[in-house]
């Protein structure tokens, strides 16, 4: 019995690559880092964690959905999901995901946000993640490993947020037409068209849409098309085809919109994204 218990303890303190969080939710460590590979199309239905989750897409693209909207996590970016927030994740292509699960006291100490968001990831943070995932689960909190984890969480809190989110209204009429836009995004979709589909006047739709999402329909439509564009570029589609499929008047118009959010032209994004 003693030998069996010792082996179980050994299994618990192995490095955290290729493992799931569930057996480790109660580890007596404020920060837990894991890594997993997922096949294209893998889906995690609605679930929540007792710790905050910082999910880094080392390879591939992750789509995150909550009742409040949809976020897209391109390669080499990350998303933050606060503890207790129900969310679903879909892997767009093969994905390598490094997760940092952060206990409440650490979240409060560095003031991580109370809502989901997408982050840029610095070279330093990538190196910290690579080191942290190979530490034993029960690392020495007073030694180098503990200091590394503290720096890791501090660097997460310092990362820039990216506008890769399309909020979802709660009104079922608005939510229905928004879901239709998610399924068939086009920058050419007209306000009058979606207002009629929702069974509202243009004025009522405009007022209620902004009240529920915090943005106007044109800005929201732009965000939906940007998320769709990133998914398609990551799937290997050429820039011109993506631009025209999404209803842009020209590839240059698409490039301008893309650059405003991601800080680079789509052609440059394609050149610099990691191989999948």
- The pLDDT tens digits of the residues spanning 167-206 come to 999 999 999 999 999 999 999 999 999 999 999 999 999 9
- pLDDT of residue 21 exceeding 80: no
125 C-beta neighbours (distance < 10 Å), count = 22
- pLDDT of residue 128 exceeding 80: yes
Mean per-residue pLDDT, 140-158: 97
pLDDT of the residue at 6? 36
pLDDT of the residue at 260? 85
CA atoms within 13 A on the CB side of 24: 25
Mean per-residue pLDDT, 43-70: 94
Mean per-residue pLDDT, 237-258: 94
Structure tokens at 257: 């919109």
pLDDT of the residue at 264? 87
Structure tokens at 23: 């057996």
12 pLDDT band (50/70/90 cuts)? very low
Distance CA 42, CA 62 (A): 10
- pLDDT of residue 3 exceeding 60: no
DSSP assignment letter at 170: S
Q: What is the DSSP string of 1-54?
A: -HHHHHHHHHHHTSB-BT--SGGGTT-S-SEEEEEEEE-TT-EEEEE--SSEEE
pLDDT of the residue at 11? 38
153 C-beta neighbours (distance < 10 Å), count = 22
CA atoms within 13 A on the CB side of 177: 20
> Among 23-27, 57-61, 147-151, which is the least confidently predicted range?
23-27
Distance CA 13, CA 135 (A): 9
Give me the numbers of helices (H) and strands (E) for the chain, helices first please.
11, 9
pLDDT of the residue at 263? 82
Nearest alpha-carbon partner for 118 in 261, 256, 228: 261
Chain-centroid distance of CA 231 in Å reads 12
Distance CA 79, CA 220 (A): 19
In the chain, the percentage of residues whose pLDDT exceeds 70 is 90
pLDDT of the residue at 9? 38
Distance CA 166, CA 183 (A): 13
Structure tokens at 160: 């820039």
Instruction: Please count the residues of the chain.
Output: 276
Cβ proximity of 213 and 171 under 8 Å: no
pLDDT of the residue at 20? 57
């Amino acid at each position: 019995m003693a030998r069996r218990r010792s082996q179980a303890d050994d299994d618990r303190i192995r490095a955290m690559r290729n493992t799931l969080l569930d057996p480790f939710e109660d580890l007596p460590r404020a920060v837990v880092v894991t890594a997993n590979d997922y096949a294209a199309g893998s889906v995690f239905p609605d679930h929540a964690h007792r710790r905050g989750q910082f999910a880094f897409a080392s390879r591939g693209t992750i789509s995150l959905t909550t009742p409040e909207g949809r976020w897209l996590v391109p390669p080499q970016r990350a998303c933050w999901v606060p503890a207790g927030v129900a969310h679903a994740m879909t892997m767009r292509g093969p994905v390598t995901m490094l997760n940092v699960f952060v206990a409440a006291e650490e979240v409060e100490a560095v003031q991580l946000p109370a809502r989901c968001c997408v982050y840029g990831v610095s070279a330093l943070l990538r190196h910290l993640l690579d080191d942290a995932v190979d530490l034993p689960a029960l690392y020495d909190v007073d030694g180098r490993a503990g200091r590394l984890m503290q720096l890791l969480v501090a660097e997460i809190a310092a990362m820039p947020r990216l506008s890769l989110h399309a909020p979802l209204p709660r009104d079922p009429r608005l939510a229905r037409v928004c879901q239709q836009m998610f399924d068939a995004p086009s920058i050419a979709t007209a306000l009058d068209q979606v207002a009629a589909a929702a069974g509202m006047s243009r004025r009522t739709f405009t007022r209620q849409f902004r009240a529920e999402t915090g943005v106007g329909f044109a800005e929201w439509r732009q965000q939906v098309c940007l998320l769709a564009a990133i998914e398609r570029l990551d799937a290997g589609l050429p820039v011109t085809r993506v631009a025209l499929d999404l209803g842009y008047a020209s590839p240059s118009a698409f490039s301008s919109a893309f650059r405003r959010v991601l800080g680079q032209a789509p052609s440059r994004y394609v050149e610099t994204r990691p191989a999948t």
